[in-house]
Amino acid sequence: MLRVLIVEDEEPIANLINLSLTSAGYSCTCVYDGLSAADIIDKKQFDLILLDVMLPGVDGFELMDYIRPKEIPVIFLTAKTSVSDRVKGLKLGAEDYLIKPFEVIELLARVETVLRRTHKLDKILEVGGLTIDTSSRTVMRDGEKIPLTKKEFELMLLFVRNPNIALYRETIYERVWESDYMGDSRTVDLHVQRLRKKVGWEDNIKAVYKVGYRFEDS
């Protein structure tokens, strides 16, 4: 299980991030100031740090000098919206910069992208009775390969990496098809129906009324 350190001085925000990432299968630790972050980084290993910029004591930018030698990828979380602040954060070595307020689905997507880019994301997933190899893009059930199209595979990964989260059809379309949603739900619905049947997830992928779909790993 991948370990994420959340450094955020606003406890409600930290708790929301913790809940969302934990539901998605990550192991999370929260601290609420820069000095506590520096202390726990010395004691424990982490695969990713979500780092607020405006922290009491030592701010996020200053903390980067401490984190950089440890080669832990960092995503800045901040209300600072200026281009100069974003550039500063990236130049200090952060992998990404997410501006508050943000949607949980966007945070999860950024986390996944950074972990994949830094080669920390799990390559073999065991979920819903399937063995999913994200490197070879193969899916197995009971030793037998299940043939999926590219879009079906991407759709499956989207559900697997966002468990128990109701995903809007618009979000699904934009993430899987990588283009703007034009309001036609038939493409999404058809692919979900085919995926359900192919992998035997008729009871795992639930329709959410007037929203879209939710994956449950029962």
Give the pLDDT confidence of 133-179 residue by residue, as tens digits.
Answer: 887 889 999 889 999 999 999 999 999 888 888 999 998 998 888 78
CA 141 to chain centre: 25
Picking from 91, 117, 143, the residue at the C-terminal end of a domain is 117
In this prediction, residue 123 carries a pLDDT of 74
Q: Are residues 205 and 112 in the same domain?
A: no
Mean pLDDT of the chain: 89
Q: Are residues 9 and 101 in the same domain?
A: yes
In this prediction, residue 5 carries a pLDDT of 97
Owning domain of residue 61: 3-117
Picking from 87, 117, 147, the residue at the C-terminal end of a domain is 117
Pairing assessment for the beta strands 124-127 and 74-78 based on DSSP bridges? unpaired
Q: Which of 45-54, 116-125, 201-210 has the lowest mean pLDDT?
A: 116-125
Q: Are residues 54 and 108 in the same domain?
A: yes
In this prediction, residue 183 carries a pLDDT of 73
pLDDT tops 90 at residue 213: yes
Q: For 24-76, where are the alpha helices, taking DSSP H only?
A: 34-43, 60-67
CA distance 44 to 30: 12
Picking from 101, 117, 133, the residue at the C-terminal end of a domain is 117
The CA-based dihedral angle spanning residues 117, 178, 212, 184, taken in that order and rounded to the nearest 10 degrees = 180
pLDDT tops 80 at residue 184: no
CA 52 to chain centre: 17
Q: Are residues 35 and 109 in the same domain?
A: yes
Q: Are residues 107 and 180 in the same domain?
A: no
In this prediction, residue 96 carries a pLDDT of 92
What's the rounded mean pLDDT across residues 66-91?
Answer: 85
Q: Phi and psi (nearest 5°) for 15?
A: -65, -40
Give the global pTM: 0.65
In this prediction, residue 93 carries a pLDDT of 87
In this prediction, residue 122 carries a pLDDT of 65
What's the rounded mean pLDDT across residues 57-79?
Answer: 89
